[in-house]
Structure 1
Amino acid sequence: MVIKNKIGQWGIHIFFWLFTIGSLLPFVLIFMVSISDETSIELNGYSLFPSKISFAAYQFLFFDFTEIARAYGVTILCTILGTLLSLFITTLLAYPLSRMELPFRRSLSFFIFFTMVFSGGMVPWYMTFVTLFAMKNTLLAMIIPGMLLSAFNVLLMRSFFSNSIPESVIESATMDGASEFHIFYKIIVPLSLPIMATIGLFTTLAYWNDWYNCMLFIDKPTLYNIQYLMTKTLTNIQYLIMKSNTSAQAGELLAKMPRETVRMALAIIGIGPLLLAYPFFQKYYISGITSGAVKG
């Protein structure tokens, strides 16, 4: 029996090690291709062991380092501000919805769920933020529209409050004379760090990977975020590839420029910081998901 248990444990360990390696291989391949020589890519294709190392793709992307650094700064600022504001608003909305004594609790929850299914449409949504709130070419345009408050996150956090925080704790604090704000700040928030870290990770990913709002609302190059800047760079490369068939000048320029390696370097630049940050959120992420997934 002991031998069978050990064999089973080793089998599970081997399976998860193989699964982990299989999950990491695409990222390793992307990185290795990004530091490969463009000529070797054309001759031999993608490889985990490039025949010739070259950092031409990164030199091409960081040729104007000021632009890259500014775009990173915009992205980091919008991500931090947006995540903090989103967590604050989501928590303030989800906590009252988890309290049974809140009037019209079910109606409010349905209204929030309704926004997940139906929307006012693209044109009214755009006109609201551009004409009514005048957010065109402002950082607020990359923080508020579409990402500041998520109905899914509100319902997930409400489920956590309802199922993971005992009602007796709140009742005891109320009997001791604690105000609602004191209960929320001193009891609810410290007990909700797992779900807050989970929602924070979701929101951070959304803000970091966002390029759509930047494309819609931003015309000033000084306000481009890193994802939209990378998207424009990739689009310009694709445009040169198409023009190379009809323009000798474009073909000559394209011949001197890395193409496939640049695509992979763009991916590394875009996801690198998140890959480094994710391990610090992992334990809270798993705890928050399993706790918040209980029926609400």
Structure 2
Amino acid sequence: MDSIAMEMKKQSKASPITRRSRDPNSISRPASMVLNLSFILYCVISLVPVLLVLSVSFSDENAIALHGYRLIPESFSLAAYQYLWQDAAHIAKGYSISIFVTLVGSLLGLTVTAMFAYPLSRMDFNFRGFFSFFIFFTMIFSGGLVPWYLVYTKLFPIKDTLFALIIPNHLMNAFFVIMVRTFFQTTIHPSLIESASMDGASEMKIFRSIVLPLSLPVLATVGLFYTIGYWNDWFNSLVFINNDNLVNLQYMMYKVMRNLQYLTANAQVSGSVNISSEIAKLPNETVRMAMCITGMGPIVLAFPMFQKYFIKGLTVGAIKG
């Protein structure tokens, strides 16, 4: 028996069974290649429309009419940007208004949303149900356009001020409040808040030093939504602003496009042949695309700025098991 045991031991040493430990979060090489190719294809599909708009903005108007849209311009031209350059001062003013409104509005909206959502996430808040219903009710029912307009022009006289571009529609979104409240409830452990309270921290201290640093992912997401909403808004300028020095970039571009369409559509109505021919030469399609490129510039840089907060928020932790 001893000889048999010795022989088996020698065989086990001669041919050891190797087992490779595998990370449970890792994926196989073929699956990784498929995922990478899928994301590359998705990026290409997303970039093609932007490249098409950029190409058309640098194309000649006659070439667009003859050959249609092309990824490579059939005939290169800067006529659309030269047409916009004639209003460079107004466009720069619109840029400054849009940047100011976007920055201030996004910060205020994010602050109000987080401060409203935090008490709703606390189970010990007595009026939690009432305020939750109050914010949820606004998602279902609306007062209508006319009462909304009268509130901000008669009750709160903010017409022809920058407040009219910040407060209506965007300052606090009910859906964002519910989203942030849900994140607070599911991510911020109650024992963390309880331990901070026992150490003598005030509610504002807990909110500022504990809750907000642990909520960077949802705050970055909501902040990005607020930024896009403020930047793309033109309706508030249409309704509340009569002063041309206070309109934002999007509404200014809308006015340029509307005036250009009006001149092009009524070119044949003019009695002078020379005037009609000059109006017909105005770039129409290319100016639209040039306005898109001009208006999308700063907002393209918004996501890379928020991306680091996504990554930082995902790596922050408080409760260690």
Tell me, yes or no, whether TM beats 0.5: yes
2:183 maps to 160
Does the aligned pair in 1 maintain the 2:264–2:282 contact within 8 Å? no
Match of 1:230 among 253, 260, 263: 253
Q: Which is higher, the Rg of structure 1 or of structure 2? A: 2
> Partner of 2:293 in structure 1?
268
Q: Determine if contact 1:195/1:287 at 8 Å carries over to the other structure.
A: no
Moved more, 188-197 or 125-134: 188-197
In 2, Cα distance between equivalents of 1:128 and 1:5: 60
Secondary structure at the aligned position of 1:21 is classed as: helix
Bigger share in helix: 1
Q: Counterparts of 2:299 and 2:110 in 1: how far apart (Å)? A: 18
Counterpart of 2:118 in structure 1 is 95
Q: Given that residues 264 and 280 in structure 2 are in contact (C-alpha distance below 8 angstroms), is that contact kept between their aligned partners in structure 1? A: no
Does residue 8 (structure 1) correspond to residue 31 (structure 2)? The answer is: yes
- Alignment root-mean-square deviation, CA: 1.9
Pair 1:47-2:59 in alignment: no
Aligned-partner Cα distance in 1 for 2:290–2:92: 16
Letter in 2 for 1:30: V
Pick from 125, 136, 139 the counterpart of residue 113 of structure 1: 136
- What corresponds to 1:280 in structure 2? 305
Deviation per residue, 1:104-163 (Å, 9 max, x gap): 212211110110110111111100110111111110000001111110111111011111
- The match for 1:86 is 109
Deviation string 1:209-250 (CA, Å, 9 cap, x unpaired) is 000000000011111100000001111111112201322555
Is 1:31 paired with 2:64? no
Q: CA–CA distance in 2 between the matches of 1:181 and 1:213?
A: 34
Partner of 1:149: 172
Q: Counterpart of 2:284 in structure 1: which amino acid?
A: R
- Quick one: which amino acid aligns to residue 303 of structure 2? Y
Answer yes or no: is the 8 Å Cα contact 1:98–1:158 preserved in 2. Answer: yes
Distance in structure 2 (CA, Å) of the matches to 1:187 and 1:79: 27
Which residue does the alignment assign to 2:229?
206
Distance in 2 between the 1:18 and 1:186 partners? 42
Partners of 1:253 and 1:166 in 2: CA distance: 68
2:301 aligned counterpart, secondary structure: helix
Match of 1:66 among 70, 74, 89: 89
Cα distance change of structure 1 residues 61 and 49 upon mapping to structure 2, 3 Å threshold: same
Separation (CA, whole Å) in 2 of partners of 1:135 and 1:253:
42
Alignment match, 2:20:
none
- Distance (Å, rounded) in 1 between the aligned partners of 2:47 and 2:234: 25
Residues 195 and 284, structure 1, Cα contact 8 Å, conserved in 2: no
What one-letter code is carried by the residue in structure 2 that aligns with 1:237?
L
Deviation above 3 Å: which 4+ runs of structure 1? 282-289
Which residue of 1 is the match for residue 15 of structure 2?
none
TM-score normalised by length of structure 1: 0.92
**Alignment: residue pair count:** 286
> What amino acid does structure 2 have at the position aligned with 1:66?
A
Alpha carbons of 1:50 and 1:159: their partners in 2 closer, same or farther (altered >3 Å)? same
TM-score (norm 2): 0.85
Q: Quick check: 1:198–1:284 contact (8 Å CA) kept in 2?
A: no
Please, which moves more after superposition, 243-252 or 88-97?
A: 243-252
Query: Retained in 1: the 8 A contact 2:234–2:251?
Result: yes
- Share of identical aligned residues, percent? 50
Equivalent residue, structure 1, for 2:17: none
Letter in 2 for 1:261: T
Aligned to 2:281: 256
Answer whether contact 2:102 2:230 (CA < 8 A) is retained: yes
1:60-100 deviation digits (Å, cap 9, x = unpaired)? 11212110100111111111111111111111110000000
Look up the match of 1:294.
Answer: none
CA, structure 1 residues 53+211, in 2 after alignment: closer, same or farther (shift >3 Å)? same
Unmatched runs of 5 consecutive residues or more in structure 1? 290-296
Aligned residue for 1:136, secondary structure, equals coil
Name the structure 2 match of 1:292.
none
